[in-house]
Amino acid sequence: MPVNYATPSPDQLHAVAGARLGVAEAGIRKANRRDLTLIELAPGSRVAGVFTQNRFCAAPVQLCKKHLAGGDIRALVINTGIANAGTGEPGLQAAHQTCQAAARILDVRADQVLPFSTGVIMEPLPVERIVAGLPACQSALKADGWFEAAHAIMTTDTMAKAASVQRVIAGQPVTITGIAKGAGMIKPNMATMLGFVATDAIVSQAMLERLVKEVADESFNCVTVDGDTSTNDSFVIVATGRGRARFETIDAPHWQEFKAAVTEVARQLAQAIVRDGEGATKFIEIAVDGARSRDEAKAVGYAVAHSPLVKTAFFASDPNLGRILGAIGNAWGNDPALRDLDVAKVKVWLGDVLVAENGGRAASYREEDGAAAMKPAEIIVRVDLGRGGAAAKVWTCDFSYDYVKINADYRS
């Protein structure tokens, strides 16, 4: 079960004017499950996205980038079960057919449709099932369809992930609602799941493209479950422009307040992915400060969060301090600037317990205090590098026996 997370109820997910969602059971890989989602966007909506950096990026990712370059997006199609990655030219053709089918029923152009897929890699997409299922999605379109859509995009997730806020910004009401999926194959650089956030605010295309990158960097690019970056990772922000709040330049009044609200939704979704990490029993925050730069702080945070030895120690509530120090020391492999790290200045805490300083075990540290700090379902590891004023946070989870079981049985 997810660590201290529950899916918001339907009435907690606010409709975003200008966006309608519908889901269907298309039988893409398994029968009797919702596995196809259609999101219809009102004319004039603006869309921006960031995508996986995996060189084997999936066919839908390739097509999304191409269609976004043309602007004027009117629909999103999301299927689960089959990733349509590692499928070559036939996979691209299947993604094209998906867009064409959605365009026909919505009376828009095929290049105004963005396709998204998630699931098993290197298996052909049964596009005929998507084509057959889309009319049912269209019939189900509704403004308050976020709850159903959150469930329809799941793969190994045990809980649907959604978040929603309403704010008064610059004297105008603003609604922001989003959904995401992800539990495994989760690592940052960008983004590490499927995520869709919509707002009714009026946002210029230039500012939306800036926003999606900055929000991703503060949310989805701060999480890791297993250090593997998927072939299909995508994060999209939609601004339907159906509200009255307007943000068209960096100098727009209350832009930072609006950005913070969008980031809040994205961060809730990103943390929900970690809380529902495959086999997770603990949610862990790695907070690094005293760095020379934010990137340096992140490099150390990821080094700790990615370490299987650290993650298994957290699962066992075993304060094996050498694993944490070793992970911090290994960060230089990813960031050459850390090669001059003075380990004598590094301090490490488990919760409020100082466990390491002056290059070794803290004089005040007691093993029983460390063990007690590792027992809760939520744990904070603090690292002070003692070499600057920059900081960053990374969120991860432990590795349990169930992680291996889930991934050993993934295709069954």
**Does residue 390 contact residue 299 with C-beta atoms inside 8 Å?**
no
Measured between alpha carbons, how far is 16 from 239 in angstroms, rounded to an integer?
Answer: 9
**Does residue 296 contact residue 337 with C-beta atoms inside 8 Å?**
yes
Dihedral sign from CA coordinates of 58, 63, 69, 73: negative
Residue 172: count other Cβ atoms within 10 Å of its Cβ. Answer: 15
Please give the full DSSP string across 44-104, using - where no structure is assigned.
Answer: T-EEEEEE---TT--HHHHHHHHHHHH----EEEEEEEE---S-HHHHHHHHHHHHHHHHH
| Residues sharing a CB contact under 8 Å with residue 343, sequence separation 6 or more, in sequence order | 325, 329, 359
Characterize the bridge pairing of strands 161-169 and 113-120: unpaired
At which residue do the structure tokens 């105004």 appear? 112
The strand pairing partners of 283, in sequence order, are 378, 397
User: What single letter denotes the amino acid at residue 246?
Assistant: R
**Token pair for residue 394?**
């990374």
Tell me whether residue 354 is exposed, middle or buried, using C-beta atoms within 10 angstroms of its C-beta: 0 to 12, 13 to 18, 19 or more.
middle
Measured between alpha carbons, how far is 263 from 216 in angstroms, rounded to an integer?
Answer: 8
Q: b or e along 265-290 (b: 16 or more beta carbons within 10 Å of the residue's beta carbon)?
A: bbbbbbbbbbbbbbbbbbbbbbbbbb
Dihedral sign from CA coordinates of 83, 42, 49, 13: negative
Measured between alpha carbons, how far is 162 from 16 in angstroms, rounded to an integer?
Answer: 14
Return the biggest CA–CA distance within the chain: 71
Between the two ends of the chain, the Cα-to-Cα distance in Å is 21
Which residue from 277, 316, 402 is spatially nearest to 2, judged by alpha carbons? 277
Instruction: From the candidates 192, 199, 224, 263, give the one annotated as an active-site residue.
Output: 192
Annotated active-site residue 156? The verdict is no
Catalytic residues: 192
